[in-house]
Chains A and B, each alone.
Chain A
Amino acid sequence: MGVMIKIKNLTKKYGKVTALDRVNLTIDPNEFLVLLGPSGCGKTTLLRSIAGLEKPDEGEIVIGDQIVFSADDGINVPSGRRRVGMVFQSYALWPHMPVYENVGFGLWLQKVPRKQAREHVDSVLQDLDMAGLGERYPSELSGGQQQRVAVARLLATKPPVFLMDEPLSNLDARLRLDMRSELKRLHYQLGVTTVYVTHDQTEAMTMATRVVVMEGGRIQQIDAPQQIYRKPANIFTAEFVGMPRINTFPAKIHLQNGTSWLEIDDINIPLSWNPGQKEATAAIRPEDILISTRPIENSPEFHVYAVLPSGPEMYVQVRRGHRIIMVRENRQLDLQMDQPVWLKIDPAAVNLYDSQSGLLLTSENKRTA
């Protein structure tokens, strides 16, 4: 069903601001690709460029076997002829048209006979549990129903590419959860290439087959959600993904008895590999640290700074000098303010980043000293 989308060297500038900076991306057919990043990172510009609502300055976009945009050849296929559908953040339902006209607009444009169109719209509404709401106007629907109408508009013409621009951000938390599973289910059933923009990392993690992390108009990382979370390619991604935020420390590395040791302040962690440089930035997820109420080896003494219970787990901030470390504990510990504690860090979960470039250090790309 879905088609492949190829993006080559796409660049878009607004005055002096670079919204897209030589972006290269290939989206596989049937993929659910999520563009993730803080506001102003270029994700929406990228999506709108694919849709044909924005005209890039440089580069090329290919949808299926059709070149829809090419700066060099002066090609810019109007969005109506790109065979893409889009759900907007505001849903963009036409307030002066009842639901069935909203949904059937594309069919009307394609000159589908009226009766046939109406039947098709009815069946789409039926599939989305919206039967009987065809005569209503958008303002007479709840937020969730409006969202479904926006989706129904896609399903009516069923283009091979679905584009979604933060479609769930206007729903309340509970409804958002329901709609996530519905959209995922829909994607599974239709197998349509889906490009989905969001700034909500949970949404990205839960829905994507692959996540594209963007910042400053550039792609920071393209990977499966788990990989993005466990092995962020650079400091930006490491810090952007994950709640609560990842702990980062300036660290020193020294060799002792044939083992590399990571030295964060006066905590010492043995590494299983040699990064090959003396200094690095260490990033440790809060759940990769365990709290001990008794002294343990290689850990100095910390003091409890704040305890933040949160249902199934608890966040604990511990302090030593001016440094505060966030820990996520699955155990229900009975901790008092300022109580002395010790930390156990899982060495395998520590990611090291080059302090200058901010890039992940691995055993493959390590600098040979």
Chain B
Amino acid sequence: MRKNMIRRWLNLFRARASSPQFILTVVLLSVLAYLVLVPLYGLAERTLLWHAADTRISRNIEPGTITVFHWKNILSGRISGSFFYKPLLNTLLTGTIAALIAMLLGSILSWLVTRTDLPGRSWLKTLLTLPYIIPAFAIALAWETLFRNPNIGGQPGFFQVVFHVPPPEWLSYGPVPIIATMVIHFFPFALLLVSGALATIDTQLEEGAELLGAGRWTILRKITFPVVAPAIMAAFVLTFGRTIGTFALPYLLGGPIRYYTLSTMLFTSLKMGFEPIAYVLGIILIIITSLVVYGSNRYLGKNLRRFETVGGKGFKGEPTRLGQWRWPVFSLVGMVAFITAIFPLILLTYQTLMLVRGRFDLGNLTLHFWVGTSNPNIAHGEPGVLHNPIILGAIWNSVRLSVLSSVISAILGLVIAYLVVRNHKSITATLLDQISFLPFLFPAIAFGAMYLSIFATRQGPIPALYGTFTLLVVISVVKRLPYAVRTGTSAITQIGLELEEAAEIEGASWYQRIRKVVMPLATSGIVSGMMVTFVGMMRELSLIILLITPQTRVLMTLGLRYTEENQVQLSNALVLLVTLITIFGELIVWWLGKSRLSRLRENQMAGKKG
């Protein structure tokens, strides 16, 4: 009996350990552990060690020994106010207010463009999602162009040229512009979330109330709102979560008057050489984000699910008639769309065409910054975009980075998704799922700090990767992995298990099944995910800003450098370039999603299992 049991377990183990899926899971698990857990540990460890630079505090310090000094220093030391509590307060303040306004604006607009007879609502909806696609950096630059304040130095902004008085400082820099630009950047996110919920409400719910004699306002208040309320809450929480990690907006619009948030403080302390402070802030950022994600998952997960049965057929009923308000509301919504989506792009474009900054007359227009060659009288001799080797190099790097990271993360995400979906009961697969989700909890700049802390030096057999292009690709792939796994998961779940089993019964090995069945069917599903990553990496700034060296510059970081050097025309040109590429990429994504072929295939794949 005993011998029997041993033989049984031995056989089972042998079958398990030799299965290619198990081996792959274990390999991926160790690679990801190295790329996610080790840097996280490294970052945490460095907050608890004396650094070489700390010897300036006291000569008795021995670098490398353990201390809680940095934590104490930040949480209760002399510098805690300016390095931690104020930035924390600023982060929470700007984030909360911006998320609140974005939620309100997004919800109202989404109701208008999905459930009423507003003229041109589908066009308006597309237009209103544009600010989310435009890099936050671009919105910040546009704001600056409009409200630049001479107190900071430099040339006047558009506001001053028109009104002949400088704008008040609170409108140029600090919390107000940060909140305003955050709202512009994030309200489309709320709009998309809430319209998704609105679109799935079964209008019979509302019609039922109407038959009972309820008025339009009563229906909206008693039926529609409670049903989409969880989505509206989700919009708030998720937007808030995103504002915590934003870097470009507070950096450009708060930096000039030393208004810091946690993420810009992290960046600034690194730049000033206060590494331990930056690392502690990184850990704090990760903790805050994790709390938000955990809380929202717990609370929203429950509440979103509660209304899931409501989904129903998503039957489209009659839209609400706006009556005499139709055209006034249209002009209002149209104006919002113009101000948030189109006007910033016009401003940016106009700025790139100005020979001398701050002179908005037509005689000042030039194409020099696009097509001109080096002229020592203009912009310290920096040639225009098309002739500037640095910019051309950055374009090449941007494209290379985006293509590589989108392809690699898509494939990796698909493989992980496959292993997780098809082995959902195995512990190793579950572990793999969780570890690949972890980067979702790291605000981009904190993740950058993690890699900076670990890969600046040689790690065992792996040489110091800091300054290499490879490191940029690695961090981009890992950071995008949670999204890629999610896209991969939906692609894999759409491939009915029976399709694979049918091949298995015919005698196909795992590799043959992957090659002949899974890969061909999943491709159409992950291509759009790949495009999303491509677009995301094109406009990525905070993730890589700490890891960029002159050789590995990309468009966004170069744009930031030009901004810091006050070469506004060039920085605007670069950001505009990124914007155009991302809009073009989004169009491709949209077109892919719409294509008839992909839908046909999905129908077929979903199977008709009853």
Which residues in A have some Cβ–Cβ distance to B below 8 Å? 51-53, 71-76, 78-82, 84-86, 88-90, 92-96, 105-106, 109-110, 138-139, 153, 157, 169-170
| B502-521 vs A, Cβ < 8 Å mask (1 yes, 0 no) | 11111111001000110011
**A157, B8: Cβ atoms under 8 Å?**
no
Residue B499 CB within 8 A of the other chain: yes
Which among A51, A74, A90, A153 is the interface contact of B10 at CB below 8 angstroms?
A74
Q: Is B600 an interface residue (CB 8 A)?
A: yes
Asked if residues A74 and B7 are in contact (CB atoms below 8 Å), the reply is: yes
A109–B512 touching, CB < 8 Å: yes
B610 within 8 A of A: yes
- Interface of A, secondary structure class, is loop
Contact B8 A90, beta carbon cutoff 8 Å: no
Selecting from B170-178, B237-245, B601-609, the interface stretch reads: B601-609
Contact partners of A94 in chain B: CB under 8 A: 499, 502-503, 516-517, 521
Q: Please, how many angstroms separate the alpha-carbon atoms of A169 and B608 in the complex?
A: 10
- A53 (CB) vs chain B CBs: closest residue: B501
**What residues of chain B have their CB less than 8 Å away from a CB belonging to chain A?**
4, 7-12, 15, 496, 498-499, 501-509, 512, 516-517, 520-521, 600-601, 603-605, 607-610
Q: Total contacts A to B, CB within 8 angstroms?
A: 94
- Distance in angstroms from B157 CB to nearest chain A CB is 56
A90 touches B508 (CB 8 A): no
What is the CA–CA distance of A22 and B411 in the complex, to the nearest angstrom?
43
Chain B residue nearest to A89 (CB atoms) is B609
In angstroms, how far is the closest chain A Cβ from the Cβ of B582? 31
- Contact in complex: A71, B610 (CB < 8 Å): no
Q: Which of B10, B11, B503 is within 8 Å of A75, CB to CB?
A: B11
Q: For residue A139, which residues in chain B have a CB less than 8 angstroms away from its CB?
A: 600-601, 603-604
**When A106-B507, A109-B507, A139-B603 are in contact, do A90 and B15 touch as well, CB less than 8 Å?**
no
Distance in angstroms between the alpha carbons of A26 and B311 in the assembled complex: 47
Q: Which of A105, A138, A153 has the most CB of B within 10 A?
A: A105
- B502–A88 contact, CB under 8 A? yes
Instruction: Decide yes or no: A72 and B512 within 8 Å by CB, A88-B498, A89-B610, A139-B603 being known contacts.
Output: no
Select A74's contact among B11, B496, B503, beta carbons within 8 Å. B11
Is the beta-carbon distance between B505 and A74 smaller than 8 angstroms? Answer: no
Contact of B607 among A72, A90, A96 (CB under 8 A): A90
Complex Cα gap A90–B10 (Å): 37
Complex CA gap A164/B307 in Å reads 38
The answer to whether A80 touches B504, judged by C-beta atoms less than 8 angstroms apart, is yes
Given A74-B11, A89-B610, A109-B512, is A96 in contact with B601 using a C-beta cutoff of 8 Å? yes
CB distance from B191 to the nearest CB of A (A): 35
Closest Cβ of chain A to B427, distance in Å, is 15
Q: Which of B499, B505, B507, B508 has the most CB of A within 10 A?
A: B505
* A81 surroundings in chain B (CB, below 8 A): 507
3 nearest A-B residue pairs (beta carbon): A74-B11, A80-B507, A90-B607
* A153 CA to B600 CA, complexed, in Å: 23
Once the chains bind, are A88 and B608 in contact (CB under 8 Å)? no
Residues of B contacting A106 in the complex (Cβ-Cβ under 8 angstroms): 506-507
A105 to B502, CA, bound (A): 10
- Considering the chains assembled together, what is the distance between the CA atoms of A139 and B596 in angstroms? 13
Minimal beta-carbon separation of A79 from chain B (angstroms)? 5
* Complex contacts, B512 vs chain A, CB 8 Å: 109
A109 touches B506 (CB 8 A): yes
- A–B pairs, 10, beta carbons within 8 Å: A53-B505, A72-B8, A78-B504, A79-B504, A80-B509, A106-B506, A110-B507, A153-B502, A169-B610, A170-B610
A90 touches B505 (CB 8 A): no
